[in-house]
Every structure is written in structure tokens, then in C-alpha cells.
Amino acid sequence: MRCVVLASPAVIGVDSSTQSTKTVVIDAESGRILAVGRAAHTVTGEGGARESDPEGWWEALRTSLGTALDASGVSPAAVRGIAVAGQQHGLVVLDAAGRPLRPAMLWNDTRSAPQAEALTAALGGADAWLERTGSVPVASMTATTWQWLREHEPATAERAAAVRLPHDFLTERLSGVAATDPGDASGTCWYDTRAGSYDPALLDLLGLDPALLPTVATSGAERVGSLTSAAAAFLGLRPGIPVAAGTGDNMAAAVGLGLGGAGLLDHPVVSLGTSGTVFTASRTRPSAAGLAGFAAADGTYLPLGCTLNCTQAVDKVASLLGLDREDAQPGGHVVVLPYLDGERSPDLPHAAGLLTGLRHATTSRQILGAAYEGAVFTLLRVLDEIFATTALDPHAPDVRERPLRLIGGGAKGAAWIETVRRLSGRPVVIPDGEELVAVGAAALAAGAAWGEDPVGTAAGWGSGRGRELPAVRRDDAAWLRIEAALAGGSGLLQRSGPLVEGSR
């Protein structure tokens, strides 16, 4: 490994996402990314099933970290802290030795749709869940996948000595401490965002012993432990460095953008990745059907909407048409609802894609453009739901005109950017910062090392600043066309049937 003397200390941020692990080494004073390492994950499953081996995440962390350290030239002695941000909702069940009992069920696993419906009814309906957790169970939230496990694999559920989220699993491997943070915990549907603790009544409903769960830190930047000797040897780091609680990927992205109590509030973000998300940081606890009422990593809140089908679904349409992803034109009369993996927003877990409005003059490039429009429309509709709640500052009359901060892999694509501009009618900011989830995790690591506010640290690094594109006239015709197709096709979408035989 090539090592150089770094004038200032470094911190490490890890983004363990659905498809890969990305690890950044950052100069803690300037926020400059010194190097990025990447390692792919394996995702298996057909239909509604989506699973990964958690041990693969641990190996990917080592590979990506080794690549980043080698490329940065930073000595392990200069590293002062580490934190993990992970894909939300995934269910990891461990034996008494900390080994996975089965592959993790991921956030985009939709097999638990019947359990989500039954749990909602068991507590008395959506309002009862909103009051307690800020969210209503949908397929893929951890409570629903745990219930699925209890019903379909009761022996595995009975053997579980620990229940973790993906980022919890990695944090425990680093520190030897079972800890999580309020942000990621709020995505389980067994955490009370008002009380700031696990909800005993919900744990009883789920038959889940609280002793199986990690302790909830005060924030994602809390130092929950130190890097163990075993983990240090495995990763090539110095033992004893601070390990932060870490958080979920969306919460880390907010930190990386400088959104939160020490930074910007009520500024909307659109994230274009395998899934699509829209969120904003707020001081007001969100509680609205159709939204995830998450806590943030820094003590504020993160009202969020999520769609299952975004860049990967549109890429699939491009592949079927034999087109490059940028070979898109506005859809004209055609509408594509690219719900290839079921959908979470709207709550259609068994839906398939819908194509309507074809004419003789329709081109393949218009069909691809319509897939972009369908994915972006679905996200922006969820954003409208956020604006309609009390989560936003009522004293900020310009909140609906504020630019959309566009992040994720799709933010690098011209077709995505232009579709968002055209369908939103808003200015768009493309942040200069790369790997914002990992950068947010690095800011949490800095918080654990020096006790500083992570949002303020990230804001000082400037990773959320970027170029602003002016607003264009909103394409109201496209909105009306897609809304009509969604309303007219809702019965067909609902009748698509379970994606996995026997899932009901």
C-alpha cells in the first residue's frame, strides 16, 4: 500500500447500498474526497423476492476500503473515525455467534404485502400506525418482513438471537456493539418517532423480543464503540478508532447535502437510484399516509416518499427497445408506468408495468421517454404529498418554488435531468459533491471523532453546493395524460396478481 503523510486527519464513510459498497476516504478538514473504492453485491431472487448474503457486505466493505486507502495514499494511522450508512429496511437475522441464519430480505422484497395489510388492520388502521411510528406498513418495511419470516420460516425466526438492519450489522462487525440510530430505526415500523424509542406494544404485536434489537444511539454521529482488533486486522486499519452509530442511506444523503438542524431545512431532494426517493429535512414530525415519517440522523425529521422503480426500471425499458438510455424523446401520446417490480408509491406491490396510448406514429424513443416520464411523475406526485403535509415550515411561503436538489446515479444523465425539469417546472440544483451517502457517513464519523455536529461539518465541506438550472414551463399535458392512464389502469395494475406464486 502506498502511504503518504496527510497534513490533516482523515475519516472514512461507507455507503452499503443494494447493489454495491462504496467507501470514501475524506480529508476531515477540507472535506475533499481523497479516494473512492467500490465492490459489487450479489442480489438474488425472482418475482417479489430480493435477498443478499450479509457476509457479502462485510467482504465488500473490506475490498472497497482497501481500494480507497490504497488509491488515497493515506496511512491507517491518519484515519480518525469510520461510519456506515446502509440500505434501509433490510431484515438481518443472526445466530448467537453473530452469523446470518439466512440471506437478508431487502427493502425491495415485496413478498410481505399480505403481512403489511394484516398488520395495518391489527393495530386499528393507518391512523394508529401514523400516531405511533409516523409510517404505515408497506411491503418491504422491516416489521412486515419479520412477520413474513414468522409465518413462512418460523424455525428461523425462533432461532434468531439478534435482529438487525443492514447498517446495524456492519456497525456491530466494526465495533462489537449492537447499536443503531433513530434515522434507520424509524424505518422498521417498530420504532416510535415521537417517544424516540422502540414501541413495546408493536413489539408485542410482532412477537419480537426487544432483547434481540440493538440499542438506539442519540444520533448517527454518536460514538457507539471503537474499532475492534479483529475488525482492524480484517480491514487493515488501526484498532481503537471511533465507530459512529451510522444511519440509513437516505438520512446520510441528507447529512451529506447539509440538510438538518445546523443546515438547510425544508429544501426538497429528489434521489434517482435503483429506487427513487424524495425527502426534506424538517423540525416537524411528519405523520401522513403515503409518506414514510422517518427521523433524521441529527435529531430532526425526514419526511420521505419512496418508489421501487426508477433508474433500473427505465434502463430495462431501454434494453428491451435496443436503445441507449439517453436515446429518449418526450412521450407524446404514449404513457409508460414502469412498475416492473411492483410499486410502493402508489402502494401496488403486485403491479406490473403498463404501456398505453400507442399510435402508428409512436417511436421507440418516445416509448423510452414515456418510461422516464412515468418514473419521474410517480416521484413528483409523492413530493406533492410532502408539500401537502404540515412537515414543512408554514412560515416559508417560497417552499414550493425552491429548487429540487437532484442526486443519485440518475442525476448524471441528461434525460433524467431534463425530464425532472420539464415535469416539475422547478429550478434544479445538481450538487457538485460525489457519493453523498458516503460523504454523509464520513461526516458522522467526524462527529464521533470530535463531537462536532455532522450536518454543520458537511455544510462546511460544501458537498451540497452545485450548479443551478433554471425552471422551465411545467409540462401539464404530460401530467394529465399520465394521471388519466394511472386512474384508468388502476384496476389492471391491482389485478396483476402476486409476483411470487403462493405469496398469499
Q: Which residues are catalytic?
A: 249
CB 354 within 8 A of CB 337: yes
User: What does the CA dihedral 140, 145, 147, 148 come to, rounded to 10 degrees?
Assistant: 100
User: H or E stretch including 95?
Assistant: none
Measured between alpha carbons, how far is 398 from 418 in angstroms, rounded to an integer? 23
- Cβ–Cβ under 8 Å, residues 233 and 73: no
Q: Which residues pair with 356 in a beta bridge?
A: 335
Q: Which has the closest alpha carbon to 380: 258, 250, 294, 276? A: 276
Tally the residues of the chain.
504
Question: Do residues 96 and 257 lie in contact, with contact meaning Cβ atoms separated by under 8 Å?
Answer: no
Question: Which spans in 281-340 are helix H?
Answer: 311-321
Concatenating the DSSP letter of every residue in 111-147 gives TTHHHHHHHHHHTTSHHHHHHHHSS---TTSHHHHHH
Q: Which residues pair with 140 in a beta bridge?
A: none
Rounded-to-integer distance, Cα 379 and Cα 376, Å: 5
| Alpha carbon 368 to chain centroid, angstroms | 25
- Between CA 482 and CA 456 the distance in angstroms is 40
First to last CA, the chain: 53
Collapsing DSSP states into helix, strand and coil, what is residue 486? helix
Rounding to the nearest 10 degrees, give the CA dihedral for residues 276, 281, 282, 283. 140
**Cell of residue 218, nine digits:** 442519540
Pairing assessment for the beta strands 79-86 and 247-248 based on DSSP bridges:
parallel
